[in-house]
Structure 1
Amino acid sequence: MQPPTRSSARLFTRAIACVAAVSLLAASGLANAAAAVCSAHSPAHRVALVELYSSEGCNSCPPADNWLSQWKNSGATQSIVPLALHVDYWNSLGWTDRFSQHRFTERQQTLTDLAGGHTIYTPEIFVSGRELRSWSQRDSFDSRIGKVVAEPAQANVAVELNPQAPGAFNVSAQFTSKAADASGQLNAYVAVYENALSSHVGAGENSGATLHHERVVRQWIGPVPLVGGNAQIHRAVRVDANGADAGGSADRFGVVAFVENDATGDVLQVAELAACQ
């Protein structure tokens, strides 16, 4: 057997270096992929889901939209999880709200009916499934939030996101009831929201105005019944990003997962998670 020449030794050394580099890149890629998956879990106390029913055709809605946006980045750490649901009953009055969905009108009517009411309107605020007409009064709002947060959680919610591209990610949510004697069917929901949205309104009550929106619900998944106190939601989500303000980043998207009592409209627990990159 001939001893290796200097040339063959150099080739062997280069080959080893290439293999090492490829292995290092592969390991780095796996680490980055693993790091991209983000998750969140609801706390031991109840979290307040704040739902704003709004419309671009309503001239009293922009102040409410601005009010809701103050919590767009607070999340469950402040026990307030905001969502803006755009209804469609203003669409025939001069301006069609491209973020409106009829299912949000139906949800607003259902929550109103469960509370014994009859009339729906915009802007209207619900806190954990119950209307709060005095939401613009800070003391009243803080008092309602304080009462919700003081209660122990009656459900656990865990959510995980695996981003695929800007506006596209896989959602996995787990829901577990802690209320052994809960009256009424418990249902699980996932809402996909988007921040940094704007519209130049060309007609209707807000004609000529440029409106800015945060926490706009773009997709609504559910109800999924809890069976034996448990439910799961797994979904591949893709959101049309048209309408985002210039410079918006991928993390403007996120999900809110919650458990609701179908008989009362009470939202038992909430978890939220902004999309990671």
Structure 2
Amino acid sequence: MNLQAAVLTTALLAASLPAGAGTSCEARSGPNTAALVELYTSEGCSSCPPADRQLSHLADSLDASAAAVPLALHVGYWDRLGWADRFAQDRFAERQAWLAQANRQRAVYTPEFFVAGAEIRSWRGSLRDVVRDVNARPALAAIQLHAAVSPANVLALDAAATAPADQDAAVLYLAVAENGLVTRVMAGENKDATLRHEHVVRAWLGPFPLTGGKVQVRREVALPAGWQRDRLEAVAFVQDERSGEVLQALRTATCPGA
């Protein structure tokens, strides 16, 4: 599919939220920058499945010490080709357009990767090196994230972030992503294909501005019956609202009893 014109040293790996009541997940960022890896994708895009697989197996391609936070953000502007992507949200297309503007792009497209807020066109061969380069940077923000699911199927997210006072455009974002999703596509460019997805963003919260170099937020997300509680992960990241640079990111670490 072609372009569409459009106006910490610690690796936080396995990241499922708890399946049982009374358990929770917690993560703290390290001294170096974890790489936020955003993939803008669509089930209606015939060139997207290879990129989806690349994101799904990202951890397998990285060094054991690497720190990456992958997210798949599905966009809906290809729904007109015959298949409506059930994971697409308008806000993801809006975010992609904002990142494209920050990167001085003339168009958005799928699949499109951004790492730490920077566009990566040669993702097939360079993602590993780009993640390593981001990991080498001292972190410009620190994040603490706690996630817990109640018996009433409500996910509570408690997050705190700090950054130097001169990072006056820093904002915090929270996301909930789901793994192990499968779609049998019945129309459009991927007709008759079975697509498998990991790290699919299901909920998106923010931005929450850092005031005086800090912010603390608590948000609750009601989990629909169709979401797989044991395959969810919580994500937090701090981004410069002016430049688009991601200053730090993390996922919930492996949960006790999960």
Match of 2:25 in 1: 38
In structure 2, the partner of 1:181 is 166
Distance 1:200 1:93, change over 3 A: same
Tell me the C-alpha RMSD between the 2 structures.
Answer: 2.2
Q: Assess, with a 3 A threshold, how the Cα gap between structure 1 residues 147 and 219 changes in structure 2: closer, same or farther.
A: same
* Partner of residue 96, structure 1: 84
Spell out, residue by residue over 1:21-52, the C-alpha distance to the aligned partner (whole angstroms, 9 max, x if none).
Answer: xxxxxxxxxxx976x13211001101100000
| Aligned pair partner of 2:208 in 196, 199, 224 | 224
Listed as ranges, the gaps of 5+ residues in structure 2 are 1-19
Q: Contact 1:57–1:91 (CA<8 Å) still a contact in 2? A: yes
Equivalent of residue 158 in structure 1, options 131, 141, 144 = 144
Residue deviations 1:144-171 (CA, integer Å, cap 9, x gap): 2222111111100000012214963211
Percent pairwise identity: 46
Tell whether the 8 Å contact from 2:165 to 2:212 is kept in structure 1 after alignment: no
1:70 aligned to which of 57, 71, 77? 57
2:105 corresponds, among 97, 113, 117, to 117
CA distance in 1, matches of 2:122, 2:56: 18
CA contact (8 A) 2:41 2:72 kept: yes
1:218/1:239 contact within 8 Å kept: no
Structure 1: 5+ residue runs without aligned partners? 1-31
Contact 1:255 1:272 (C-alpha < 8 Å) held by counterparts: yes
How many residue pairs match? The answer is 235
For 1:74-126, what per-residue CA distance to the aligned partner results, in whole angstroms no more than 9, with x for missing partners? 9x963111000001101111010010001000000000101111200000000
Q: Determine helix, strand or coil for the equivalent of 1:199.
A: strand
- The runs of at least 4 aligned residues of structure 1 exceeding 6 Å deviation read none
Partner of 1:255: 234
What letter matches 1:181 in structure 2? D
Instruction: Tell me whether 1:170 sits opposite 2:156 in the alignment.
Output: yes
**Pairwise CA distance, 1:72:** 6.4
Shift of 1:241: 5.0
Q: Which protein has the bigger helix share?
A: 1
Higher relative contact order (Cα pairs below 8 Å, separated by 6+ residues) = 2
Task: Give the Cα separation in 1 of the matches to 2:152 and 2:36.
Answer: 26
Contact conserved, 2:66 with 2:135, CA < 8 A, in 1?
A: no
TM-score by length of 1: 0.79
| TM-score, normalised by the number of residues in structure 2 | 0.85
User: What displacement does 1:223 show?
Assistant: 0.6
Amino acid at match of 1:109: A
How many Å apart are 1:251 and its aligned residue? 2.3
Aligned twin of 1:8: none
* 8 A contact 1:166–1:250 mirrored in 2: no
Aligned to 2:193: 209
Q: Which moved more, 1:163-172 or 1:220-229?
A: 163-172
